[in-house]
Amino acid sequence: MELQVSDNGAESWEEVMLIYNAALKQISTKLEILNDEFQHVHKYNPIEHIKYRVKTPKSIVKKLKRHGYESTLENMVKYCNDIAGIRLICDYTSDIYSIADMISNQSDIKIVAIKDYIAHPKDSGYMSYHMIVLIPVYLSDRIVDTKVEIQIRTIAMDFWASLEHKIQYKFPGEVPEHIQAALLQNAKMVSELDARMMELNNEIQKLAGEEGEPEQ
């Protein structure tokens, strides 16, 4: 990769990676605090666990070439929105939108783009809630607004997506039709399961609330 100056002022690959890793640390800490606050207020954690990663140089170069861009630091920062990625796994679909709202309400986070693949799944059946955000990274001599991709999904959605990823890796050309059909059918089952589990949880919470009410 050519070492040309990027939009965020970084002059080397190492400095760019330092900035993206710092962005992940900052947003991870912020999300953990929000999760702790939610537990304090509502006695419930909407985030089951957090996964995060920075794309490898090979993946970044491959993506740039696929979209017809030269492999420069400037193009990497400008055109790759998912170099820094964080995935939030939760129990219920309602948690996804609660978490998205909490993130959107942070004054120092700017929302760049949102793709709701839950309301509008991909043709393959893929479901997830994607946000591209800018988070400030405070360096010694400047503040760098850095893009981070956030994916929010339920445990069932994440299980499905993990299997799809493995299938795409096994069949880099074209996935056999019967496997595509099975994936789509399973995606519908995941959606139904998530809806039923959320309904059951709501009923449990309702009954627990009624039992906890003082007698008149």
Residue 209 vs residues 98, 150, 202, 203, 214: alpha-carbon distances, Å: 21, 33, 10, 10, 10
Tokens 């059946």 sit at which residue?
A: 125
Give the active site residue among 149, 164, 213, 215. Answer: 149
- Rounded Cα distance between 140 and 158, Å, is 38
Q: pTM above the 0.85 mark?
A: yes
Q: Which pairs with CB-CB distance under 8 Å and at least 24 residues apart come from 24-32?
A: 24/52, 24/54, 24/84, 24/86, 24/148, 26/135, 26/136, 26/137, 27/86, 27/109, 27/133, 27/135, 27/148, 27/150, 28/52, 28/86, 30/106, 30/109, 31/86, 31/88, 31/99, 31/103
Q: Report which DSSP code applies to 109.
A: -
Q: Where are the beta strands (DSSP E) in the chain?
A: 49-54, 84-90, 110-116, 129-138, 143-154
> Which of 82, 93, 195 lies closest to 147 in space, CA to CA?
82
pLDDT above 90 coverage of the chain, percent: 69
**Burial (0-12, 13-18, 19+ Cβ within 10 Å), 147:** buried
pLDDT above 70 coverage of the chain, percent: 92
Mean pLDDT over each residue of the chain, to the nearest integer: 89
Q: Is the dihedral of CA 179, 196, 49, 133 positive or negative?
A: positive
Q: Which helix (H) or strand (E) holds 75?
A: helix 73-79
According to DSSP, the β-strands at 110-116 and 129-138 are: antiparallel
Structural domains of the chain sorted by starting position, each given as residue range(s) with its CATH number in brackets: 13-156 (3.30.460.10)
215 is catalytic: no
157, 127 contact by CB (below 8 A): yes
Q: pLDDT by residue (tens digit) across 119-148?
A: 999 999 999 999 999 999 999 988 999 999
The pLDDT, as a whole number, for residue 57 is 87
31, 104 contact by CB (below 8 A): no
164, 183 contact by CB (below 8 A): yes
Q: pLDDT by residue (tens digit) across 16-72?
A: 899 999 999 999 999 999 999 989 988 888 999 999 999 998 899 999 999 999 988
118, 184 contact by CB (below 8 A): no
96, 90 contact by CB (below 8 A): yes
